[in-house]
Amino acid sequence: MRMDKIPLCTMYIDDEIKKAVIDVIDSGWYVKGENAKLLEEGFAKFCHAKYGISASSGTSALFLAIKALDIGKGDEVIVPSFTFIATASPVILAGATPIFADIDLKTYTMKPKEVERLITPKTKAIMPVHLYGHPAEMKPILDIARDNNLKVIEDACQAHGAMAFGHMVGTIGDIACFSYFPSKNMTVAGEGGMITTNDEELAKKMAIMKDHGRIDKHTSTTFGFNFRLSEIHAAIGRVQLKHLPDWIEARRKNAAHYTELFDDVDGVEIPVEANWAKHAYHLYVIKTEKRDELAKYLKEKNIATGIHYYIPVHKQPYILDNYSEVKLENTEFCAERVLSLPLDPRISFMEIKRVVEEVKNFFKG
Ligand SMILES: Cc1ncc(COP(=O)(O)O)c(C=O)c1O
3-state secondary structure 7-30: CCCCCCCCHHHHHHHHHHHHHCCC
Residue 1 has a pLDDT of 45
Let me know if 117 is exposed, middle or buried by CB neighbors in 10 A (0-12, 13-18, 19+): exposed
> Separation of 86 CA from ligand 1 center, angstroms?
6
> Separation of 63 CA from ligand 1 center, angstroms?
12
Assign 48 to helix, strand or coil: coil
Q: What separation in angstroms does the CA of 283 have from each of 170, 225, 339? A: 19, 32, 10
d(CA 108, CA 90): 21
> Separation of 85 CA from ligand 1 center, angstroms?
8
Q: Tell me if 154 sits within 8 A of 169, measured CB to CB.
A: yes
Residue 264 has a pLDDT of 76
Q: What separation in angstroms does the CA of 355 have from each of 252, 292, 362? A: 17, 16, 11
Assign 296 to helix, strand or coil: helix
d(CA 338, CA 175): 29
Q: What separation in angstroms does the CA of 246 have from each of 161, 186, 250, 282, 334? A: 10, 11, 6, 14, 31
Residue 3 has a pLDDT of 54
Fill in the DSSP letter of residue 228: P
Residue 320 has a pLDDT of 87
Residue 2 has a pLDDT of 47
Give the residue, out of 63, 84, 183, 308, with the most ligand 1 atoms within 8 A of its beta carbon, to mutate for a pocket test: 84
Angle at 60 between CA 307 and CA 284, to 5 degrees: 25
pLDDT < 50 positions in the chain: 1-2
Residue pLDDT, tens place only, 155-203: 999 999 999 999 999 999 999 999 999 999 999 999 999 999 999 999 9
Question: Is the distance from the beta carbon of residue 59 to the nearest atom of ligand 1 less than 6 Å?
Answer: yes
pTM above 0.85, yes or no: yes
Residue 4 has a pLDDT of 85
Residue 265 has a pLDDT of 86
* Residue ranges with strand state E in the chain: 51-55, 76-80, 97-101, 123-126, 151-155, 163-164, 167-168, 175-179, 193-197, 277-278, 284-287, 338-341
